[in-house]
Structure 1
């Protein structure tokens, strides 16, 4: 007979063989004994955790000739027929390849017929989340009220993709990831029964690489058995899983702690020469320091360790590295791992991160000699300061403090207008510059919108240029808050200047002013300009303005350009 993989040969045939899912198997066994079988079940969980196996065991248990029983006997004709697939009343459907409406309609049409051989017709639909929406709708009514002789068992790795109307009609059981301890126990039993020699640590390495899936663990064990000669060793397990030996991790960890760059890079070079993946190594090294931190803070939680075995070298190293250093190591390695995902030079990032770890200056922990020395100096300075006070020497910081407290500085609210800059613009303002800006103002606003700055350009709805000279212009806003928001956004003002330069060929810097303050600044400028014109020896009076002032008086006059 052709060779069969271990996970097929050792597939669970009873609930007791389903490892790590006692919360599921216990519930199903009680329901079988009490004859409280539901019409529909939903088994969800990660791959390789026993969902389909539990479904077939349940199908055997409900149809066992000795029922009601907590476990199928696996000896009667019904149990043997379901195991070898010769009984047509237990139907396994792969929803990944049979996900259309027609397949589900075929089930709906045939479900009303009584079973041929056993008591219950059981439909096991694997990867049920792959069904289309139309297929789910076709299954809905049948799943809610099937005939008494029909049981549906749905299995999925992604329950969030199943409509809630389907989930609400099923009894849901969530399968958990299997712990490394349970996986090691099951693999050791299989290896012993198969006559395979192995090292205990090799089983631990394979179990941790399986990430909670029994099928993955047995597949890796199968590979390790084929790779090994007479015995599955730690090196065989490391080679098959692609993991890094803990000896190398210990060497690297000690070199980093001792800041020995040459030793650390030498160990890394050996690992990469063996064909280890840099990204996988970075992940292993993060888990190594994570386990070290966990061992320091909660040494009793050995089962929670992800990567390491508690050998003497690891325990010694864990006692010498401070927790705050481990935080830094994990941050650096995690950043390198993220960067390696988007580069073709992952090795360079890994080497740089190792050098960085070796050269890292750890923050001084409380209780270290440096901190104690610093505290002594601080205490000495405090005593000298107290002696100066007792001798009547005034301390400058303390004598000035009350005076400073008498005049608290109040924060000014609103936008502070640069009146001096505006006055300078008004002195040399020209209509040519102002018309140049106004003629392209609409184009400038449209360009802002095209550059995804719509929210900022909305501030210009009630704003207009009112004066301009070569190099700058005054931008009047209707509201003070709009002026403040626009002028304090340097990216926005820079965008206005650059766009105006593209449109007009001249560079203009915007000076913002609210409308109410612009009126006062402008009138003040006109008033001063008029007085200076009258005082100048070479200036002639404007006869028109003089006559107008005589007629209506200076208070009622307003001069517009």
Structure 2
């Protein structure tokens, strides 16, 4: 096969060819010029940003005898051998497949021998984070006291997995994602050298799709060239990347600004039917919203725009849409982008996002109307609004009910207001999440303060072990009661409680991590924070009733009256089990006996007196329980 991919043909051969990493390349060049090179380097950063290419260029430069301004000549025998991968003194190792202790020991033993043909022996270890713990330990001593004329260059995309003892013995260089302008400039140079026709506006589209990686950009460019028969046009790039044209995004934003939900959904279906990628669609909308916001705030700094073309339609849209709407759009689209990663039905989330976006200004308008209505009511506390049509015009049902209730209360129609309040409360109760109270009671029956304290202590550690989405869901939660086999978790928001209860993956993950942290996986019940005090109060009432039943003494013979006369010690003993159970949900530290929370029945003396008056003193026998 004679053809080679563009990213292989145009791999950087000099530091100046490495796009977007000027700070790193300049530092390495200066170190070579001043002959202040280190024995170990760590190159980190996302894929396709120039880590391995930079390592090979450095290997050539440090061994090149014709160095000029810190750049290798690429003409001498050593440079050409390194470029072709034929120099024995430059060893490239893939740590993903050579991650054992034996491989590193072999490197350590061979590093002791002097280079054969070059001045320095260079070891380039790619994906070094894949090494095992034993392999890192085997490499540690060699990095600390390396043999003369040996240089280690470690490259990785995940530096957080590398031990700090390794990092501290290297010079670390963090390769950044390459910006759109630098990628476009490099592609323009390559296309010019290859004598391939291209449209200038197509290059930023490819650059944005590459997400900061030059290798990805050249791979996409290769596909576009093949698709367009050795030409690169906007249409070809759009088809290859699944991106949207600016005209299409302007049309979509027009539907959002005019609150035309039907048009927005129809346009969305056309976009998806056209084969556009859902994730790319959301990404393009976020970047376009960002460009609109930047242009609104600083129109003279058009160079900050991320690929948007400032034409008449773009300027008109920037004057029409408000900055607050753009803020809200970015928040909604960012949330949709997160949800798309965990779903098999992206079209559903995109439709929901479209509906929300087309209702943004309506919500803002309602909020402004509510504020103005509240100001009018504050100024005219004793007057009734005369224009009842304003109530009908309000699209938000809750705001309309609130306005009607305030008008009715001012007019004195308290009965109607009470009826409205009951209907609203009933409606809210019907939509409220209902936890499993019987399961909650069973957990409270065996709950202890020790178990609850243990769960509260490990709860922050549990959150850190969860995924980002699961952590966000449980961030507004806290354990409120716990036993040996059960746990009750209270949520600040009703909707999060319901979503967490229905999320089987979340429940399973929490159980697994709790098994690691405390040694067992308790049964979990989620309850909304507003309902927890009510459920707790109901449970306390049940204990009160049970205690009252235990105190009551049944009379089995007519004419006999039972008079309880327990001593304080006996009362204390009978109270202890109930108190111990109650202390998990209420504070019982100041209670001395059951009478502190159970209302006394009739007075004993009064009962005896009435019995004697009814049956006579001789017929009444008083017994002490």
- Both structures adopt the same fold (TM-score exceeding 0.5): yes
Aligned residue in 2 for 1:445: 446
Q: Give me the TM-score of the superposition, normalised by structure 2.
A: 0.65
CA displacement, residues 309-365 of structure 1 (integer Å, 9 cap, x when unaligned): 333322211211112222333343344444444444332332233233324413249
3-state secondary structure, aligned to 2:19: coil
Aligned residue in 2 for 1:243: 243
Provide the C-alpha distance between the structure 2 equivalents of 1:65 and 1:244, rounded to a whole number of angstroms. Answer: 51
Query: Does the C-alpha gap of structure 1 residues 133 and 517 become closer, same or farther in structure 2, counting only changes over 3 Å?
Result: closer
Aligned partners of 2:443 and 2:486 also within 8 Å: no
Query: Does the C-alpha gap of structure 1 residues 224 and 137 become closer, same or farther in structure 2, counting only changes over 3 Å?
Result: same
Query: Which structure: larger Rg?
Result: 1
CA displacement, residues 189-226 of structure 1 (integer Å, 9 cap, x when unaligned): 11111101111110000011111111111111111111
Aligned partners of 2:575 and 2:593 also within 8 Å: no
Aligned residue in 2 for 1:468: 549
Unaligned runs of 5+ in 1: 385-440, 489-511, 547-558
3-state secondary structure, aligned to 1:516: coil
Aligned residue in 2 for 1:531: 606
Cα offset for 1:17? 0.9
3-state secondary structure, aligned to 1:169: coil
Aligned residue in 2 for 1:144: 144
Aligned residue in 2 for 1:424: none
CA displacement, residues 81-106 of structure 1 (integer Å, 9 cap, x when unaligned): 11112221111111111111111111
Write the mapping of 1:66-145 to structure 2, written as runs, cut at 5 A: 66-67=66-67, 70-145=70-145
Query: Does the C-alpha gap of structure 1 residues 520 and 17 become closer, same or farther in structure 2, counting only changes over 3 Å?
Result: closer
Provide the C-alpha distance between the structure 2 equivalents of 1:110 and 1:373, rounded to a whole number of angstroms. Answer: 80
Aligned partners of 2:336 and 2:349 also within 8 Å: yes
Provide the C-alpha distance between the structure 2 equivalents of 1:443 and 1:76, rounded to a whole number of angstroms. Answer: 81
Aligned residue in 2 for 1:22: 22
Aligned residue in 1 for 2:322: 322
Provide the C-alpha distance between the structure 2 equivalents of 1:266 and 1:124, rounded to a whole number of angstroms. Answer: 53
Aligned partners of 1:533 and 1:539 also within 8 Å: no
Q: Give me the TM-score of the superposition, normalised by structure 1.
A: 0.72
Query: Does the C-alpha gap of structure 1 residues 469 and 277 become closer, same or farther in structure 2, counting only changes over 3 Å?
Result: farther
Query: Does the C-alpha gap of structure 1 residues 529 and 258 become closer, same or farther in structure 2, counting only changes over 3 Å?
Result: same
Provide the C-alpha distance between the structure 1 equivalents of 2:174 and 2:45, rounded to a whole number of angstroms. Answer: 6
Query: Does the C-alpha gap of structure 1 residues 560 and 160 become closer, same or farther in structure 2, counting only changes over 3 Å?
Result: farther
Provide the C-alpha distance between the structure 2 equivalents of 1:543 and 1:24, rounded to a whole number of angstroms. Answer: 108
Aligned partners of 2:49 and 2:212 also within 8 Å: yes
Report the aligned-residue RMSD: 4.0
Higher mean C-alpha displacement, 62-71 vs 226-235: 62-71
CA displacement, residues 244-294 of structure 1 (integer Å, 9 cap, x when unaligned): 222111101101111223322222121111112334323332333233223
Cα offset for 1:530? 2.9
Question: Is 1:486 aligned with 2:561?
Answer: no
Query: Does the C-alpha gap of structure 1 residues 309 and 163 become closer, same or farther in structure 2, counting only changes over 3 Å?
Result: same
Write the mapping of 1:249-398 to structure 2, written as runs, cut at 5 A: 249-299=249-299, 302=302, 304-306=304-306, 308-360=308-360, 361-364=362-365, 381=380
Unaligned runs of 5+ in 2: 384-441, 448-481, 489-521, 525-531, 553-570
CA displacement, residues 159-214 of structure 1 (integer Å, 9 cap, x when unaligned): 11111111111111111111111111111011111101111110000011111111
Provide the C-alpha distance between the structure 2 equivalents of 1:300 and 1:318, rounded to a whole number of angstroms. Answer: 14
Cα offset for 1:16? 1.0
3-state secondary structure, aligned to 1:351: helix
3-state secondary structure, aligned to 1:326: helix
CA displacement, residues 515-561 of structure 1 (integer Å, 9 cap, x when unaligned): 436447889645x3432442465344477877xxxxxxxxxxxx853
Aligned residue in 2 for 1:42: 42
Question: Is 1:198 aligned with 2:297?
Answer: no
How many residues are matched? Answer: 463
Write the mapping of 1:49-68 to structure 2, written as runs, cut at 5 A: 49-67=49-67
Aligned residue in 2 for 1:516: 592
